[in-house]
Amino acid sequence: MDSNLWLFDYKKGITYEQFSQCEDYNKKIFKFLSSYYNLWNKQILEIGAGSGKFTSFLASMCDQLFVVEKSESLMNINQKKNELLKNIKFILDDIKNLNLPEHSVDYIFAGWSLTSMRNLFECLFPLFQKVLKKDGEMILVENAGNDEFCQVVHIENFTDEMKREYLKMGFKQRAILDTLIKLPNKEVFYNAFEGVDKMQLKSLNIKHKVLILDKKF
């Protein structure tokens, strides 16, 4: 596995946020999560929250949301978007430094973020188990592969490898959702993925398969 492979420069918060707004145009991910999981009145830890793709969605249902993000540029955007929500505690830090009480959260949620922490799995998963309540659960949103998006950004093999790794770790596949990345213009995509050949993108509508996994601790 290529430990250096990742897609975004997370110091470019605005660029990341512009692309993030284009993902899951029909909001299929939100619909699945809200119907499949009981997130109401729960204590939730969102790790690698980025600019807040899922933050307001989670906060609208849970009792308390702990939001962890190490990029200051992304955290600033997230806080500004959700400044009126009183049940969010923002934590600007690396997830490995997390200091929450033992057995204090019902769910850990990671939206397209856990894969970027793959070199830290050995130290992170004992931490996750420590903060989760008995029968607590971790929910992942990741790329499913075998789609136009993964082909364009050349991560087909990497995505397949990570999916196998998660299943090997005991995560269960709950859904593969056919979603859509709907771009206002090609520059939003090229700014986010600077290394992608500009001849690769054929349309402003990119088919994207999204994988939902979970694991009880």
Residues in the chain, pLDDT under 50: 1-5
Compute CA distances 138 → 5, 71, 75, 162, 166, whole Å: 24, 22, 22, 16, 12
Compute CA distances 195 → 31, 111, 147, 216, whole Å: 32, 23, 19, 37
* 98: its two tokens: 């997390």
Residue-wise pLDDT for 95-138, tens only, equals: 999 999 999 999 999 999 999 999 999 999 999 999 999 999 99
CATH superfamily for domain 13-216: Vaccinia Virus protein VP39 (3.40.50.150)
Our CA dihedral for 103, 106, 111, 112, rounded to 10 degrees, sits at 40
pTM, 2 dp: 0.95
